[in-house]
Structure 1
Amino acid sequence: MRSTLIDVAREAGVSPATVDRVLNNRSGVRSRTREIVVETARRLGYLAASADGPAAGRPVDEEAIRLDFVLPAGTNTFIKMLHRQIELQAASRPEVDVRIWSLEGFNPDRLAGVLQDLHGRTRGVGVIALDHPTVREAIRSLSAENVKVVTLASDILHVPRVAYIGIDNRAAGRLAGYLVGRFMGASRSGKVALLAGSLSYRGHEEREMGFRHILAEEGSGLEIVELREMGDDRERAYSEAAALLDRHADLAAIYNIGAGNTGIARALKERGREHAVVFIGHEVTKETKPLLLDGTLDAVIDQNPRVEAREALNLLTQAVKGLALDYHPPRLQVVFRENIPES
């Protein structure tokens, strides 16, 4: 099926109106945005590869720039999608030589060791990093050697990074709290549980903070009764959710801060509570789409891994070359059953 203008807009992370302006060569769009739209339109087959445009005739460096990405391993589908997008997009960029390292577990010392091992081997690093002193020191050490660093999906403050690439996680937590309140209806009271991948991720900590703040601000009767970490693992998410539901027969809502939505859904369905408990999660994936369709998941707060991969590659390359940075952050989007994206 031929891609549409809407498909191009979603993949490029811009509005359909912006795509229309670019493809019809109208003013009011930044040059880098024009490049992104044209590149996306070509990749999706909406424009012929030979079409003229800002991306045509891009110069290729004589020597490829070595970039390294350090990502968590495991069952987190969003991370797998991000991994795949980095691979796909890097393959179409002859100016970069990209290596991806998958790290098991949530051990900050192991992560710091991988970062330290990249000394003298790389020009730029993208990392989903645990907020821990050893990790911060490893990033400072790389930056001292003029290695450019971007943080992905979860930020670390007080380190010399080029940029944080990801959504505003505190805003995402507030949005989740708002959604829970609206889905609860007139009563807006009851027990709520939070499940997180790891609070050593600053992003997960910020989501929790945002969720708690909006509940306090609105003065609702919603009470957070438990907060559990489940390592972004679906089996552990199932075990934690099952125990949680057994302890709280009157649980009204679950906000899953991290991954593991399928494990939580399994626990809800086994107890026949998939339509009785409000369930808000993160990321549209092949696993969460059926849960939205059958009503187990009420809403998903989504970020686009294609945009994050694109921006990471762009910013690291620009920083290594000493060019001005042009950042297009991913948009925060709420997906319900009625607006599930096609891909």
Structure 2
Amino acid sequence: MRVTIAAIARHAGVSRATVDRVLNQRGDVSADTERVVLLSARALGFGHRLEVVPTRLLRICVLMQAPANPYYRLLADGFTAANRHFAPARVASYASHIDVDEPASIARKLDRVAAEYDALVIVAPACPEVQDRVREIADRMPVVAIATGLDRDTPHRYVGPDNYRAGRLAGELMGRMMGPRTGVLVVGGLASFMGHLQRRAGFRDVLAESYAQVSVAGVIESGDQGNAAAAAIMRALRDDPAIGGIYNITQGNLEIVNRAIAIRVGARPIIVCHDLTPVTEQLLRQGRVDVVLDQDPVLEARRAVEIVLHHYGRSEGDAPAGEIPIRPVFREGL
């Protein structure tokens, strides 16, 4: 049965002229209206004939920390690559950098998103000021949280690893490698990041379940500051000879490793950390860390853009999956 413009218009609840403008790329249609038309066309079986090049540019606001952190540098590279790859779909991501210690500043940036963008991608703390604004934005556009989620009352799609399972994997690897050593330091990152808390919980749980001889000797609240974490680790290693492992949930790996090796010359702790970056790859090759749990930030960026495109009817098939597998990387796997 032939699908007509009139049938698509009835299904979408718009005029035939609007359908014509979308399908024939005449422009002057909002992103939401275009979305309804494209989804209706595909629902009616017109999708296999859709070769529409949208005329309206979809603008995605990406709120994340500045790329001084190697993880965020790779994430920024991922969005740059996604902009090139998805250019025919007329979509572009624009990064705006935030200070995670200043939720009021993040909230002010979020106030501008609804007026200037068509989608929000965010890597931010789940504090009340931020989540209140995100809930308001989610009524108007798709919201994607990367790497660390928001609470269940905040509508959003999550892209990233299952952080609880990532913490369990870190605990499993740590437990197997510790040998007779018994104490582990956990570098906790930011308590306002749900993903960091979930990693902590998973790590503790698997040690309690399967490696009772190994315990968490302390949690260092680093505030995502590598130098502060390294100084605290140096004191802990000096004061407690039973500490034989370090699990770094967040950034600052180079500073932490340098201090740990300086204190424990010839008998460094087992070190498990996250995110395969140029820094952690070098540390692996040098044998200064034991395993890196990688979540592929370039893929995370691409998946976030795919979710936005699917929301606006600019891609076919089912909605892309949000979970990104965690990959343990050892030196011999490089």
TM-score (normalizing by structure 1)? 0.77
Match of 1:99 in 2: 94
In the TM superposition, residue 223 of structure 1 has moved relative to its aligned partner by: 2.0
Query: In the alignment, is the contact (CA less than 8 A) between 1:237 and 1:261 conserved in 2?
Result: no
1:309 aligns with one of 301, 305, 309:
301
Whether 1:215 aligns to 2:210 is no
Q: Deviations over 1:152-178 (max 9, x none)?
A: 000112244341000010001011111
Shift of the 162–156 alpha-carbon distance from structure 1 to 2, 3 Å rule, reads: closer
Distance 2:221 2:266 in 1: 21
Distance 1:178 1:72 in 2: 30
Q: Deviations over 1:247-281 (max 9, x none)?
A: 32331110001111101111022224474311100
**RMSD between aligned residues:** 2.0
Match of 1:286 in 2: 278
Q: Which has the larger radius of gyration?
A: 2
Distance 2:184 2:301 in 1: 34
Q: Deviations over 1:118-137 (max 9, x none)?
A: 12111100001211111111
Distance 2:142 2:165 in 1: 27
**Letter in structure 1 aligned against 2:133:** A
Distance 1:304 1:104 in 2: 23
Match of 2:238 in 1: 246
Q: Please list every run of 5 or more consecutive structure 1 residues that lacks an aligned counterpart in the other structure.
A: 1-56
Whether 1:120 aligns to 2:112 is no
In the TM superposition, residue 305 of structure 1 has moved relative to its aligned partner by: 1.2
In the TM superposition, residue 73 of structure 1 has moved relative to its aligned partner by: 2.3
Whether 1:64 aligns to 2:57 is yes
Match of 1:237 in 2: 229
Distance 1:227 1:202 in 2: 16
Distance 2:244 2:111 in 1: 45
Shift of the 66–224 alpha-carbon distance from structure 1 to 2, 3 Å rule, reads: same
Q: Please list every run of 5 or more consecutive structure 2 residues that lacks an aligned counterpart in the other structure.
A: 1-49
TM-score (normalizing by structure 2)? 0.79
Q: Between the two proteins, what is the percent identity of the paired residues?
A: 26
Distance 1:325 1:123 in 2: 18
Q: How many pairs does the alignment contain? A: 281
Whether 1:205 aligns to 2:206 is no
In the TM superposition, residue 110 of structure 1 has moved relative to its aligned partner by: 2.1
What pairs up with 1:1-343 in 2 under 5 angstroms? 59-73=52-66, 75-94=68-87, 95-144=90-139, 146-185=140-179, 187=180, 189-273=181-265, 275-321=267-313, 324-327=318-321, 329-340=323-334
In the TM superposition, residue 105 of structure 1 has moved relative to its aligned partner by: 3.8
Distance 1:309 1:317 in 2: 13
